[in-house]
Amino acid sequence: MLRRVTLTPSTAGPFSKAETKIKLISLPDVISNLELDIITMENKSELSPKQREELIIALKSRFDKNMNRHKGLEWSKLHAKLEFNFEKLWSLNEMERTGGEPDVVGLDKSTGEYIFYDCSAESPKGRRSICYDREGLELRKEHKPENNALDMAVKMGIELLTEEEYRDLQKLGDFDTKTSSWVKTPTEIRKLGGALFCDRRYDHVFVYHNGAESYYGVRGFRGSLRV
């Protein structure tokens, strides 16, 4: 199908005053170009085959080295769920890319989902110096950080750990002994301007509060992902 478009003469344009040009536009071609643009945008959230292979190798290596985190679970069954779940692989790669070192910490038997947490020894390096959420970020009048924890988590396709999940993680090892991590803050606390973060000191897990607009070079956030 062709659409006829008439271009009127313009003294400032490339045509003379006496000329009228006719341009034919193929609508199928336009639609095809739009489809290509959409596909290109979607592929930005999809790993290449090589990236998927490298990620799975890294995940398996970590799985094998830390069996205490997932006793009774088999890599072969997890791999079968991961292999063609491109969306979840992309999120896991974001966790990996930002220093989270994701690993399996459990299996939800009611849903059959494997649960990944960020298991890096310290708060992920690629997610530090950030406010808790966008509202907190916008409250700052100056020296604003580049991002906030909640928006980063949404973009990555993961959830911030809750206080309970953070404590469960700490049962698997010693984490955040030099850093701290934002955790999902209850609505009633957030409404009053506060946000929660946790760390491990003196062989104990501590929960603190701070203004949601605060940020520090040693505070990031840890996330969870279900596959």
**38 shares its domain with 147:** no
**120 shares its domain with 205:** yes
Residue predicted with more confidence, 13 or 191: 191
**23 shares its domain with 54:** no
> What is the rounded CA–CA span in Å between residue 118 and residue 45?
20
- Lookup: tokens for 80: 């079968």
**Across 113-130, average pLDDT:** 98
Q: Position of tokens 């928006």?
A: 151
- Lookup: tokens for 90: 């992309």
pLDDT tens-place string over residues 16-63: 444 444 344 444 443 344 443 433 334 457 899 999 999 999 999 999
**58 shares its domain with 33:** no
> What is the rounded CA–CA span in Å between residue 73 and residue 68?
10
> What is the rounded CA–CA span in Å between residue 102 and residue 62?
8
**29 shares its domain with 83:** no
Ramachandran region of residue 164, left (φ > 0), alpha (ψ -120 to 50) or beta?
alpha
**Across 206-224, average pLDDT:** 97
With cut-offs at 50, 70 and 90, classify the pLDDT of residue 187. very high
At 221 the pLDDT is 98
At 44 the pLDDT is 57
**169 shares its domain with 128:** yes
**7 shares its domain with 114:** no
What's the total number of domains in the chain? 2
Q: Which among 205, 199, 203 has a CA at the least distance from the CA of 220?
A: 199
Q: Which amino acid would we find at residue 175?
A: F
**38 shares its domain with 61:** no
What percent of the chain has pLDDT above 70? 81
**10 shares its domain with 55:** no
Residue 14 has pLDDT above 70, yes or no: no
At 161, phi and psi to the nearest 5?
-65, 145
**29 shares its domain with 88:** no
pLDDT tens-place string over residues 62-113: 999 999 999 999 999 999 999 999 999 999 999 999 999 999 999 999 999 9
For residue 137, CA distances in Å to 148, 186, 208 come to: 7, 18, 19
Residues spanned by the domain of 20 = 2-43
pLDDT tens-place string over residues 144-155: 999 999 999 999
**39 shares its domain with 56:** no
Q: Which among 103, 113, 95 has a CA at the least distance from the CA of 158?
A: 95
**222 shares its domain with 176:** yes
Q: Is 143 helix (H, G, I), strand (E, B) or coil?
A: coil
**Across 199-203, average pLDDT:** 98
CB 180 within 8 A of CB 166: no
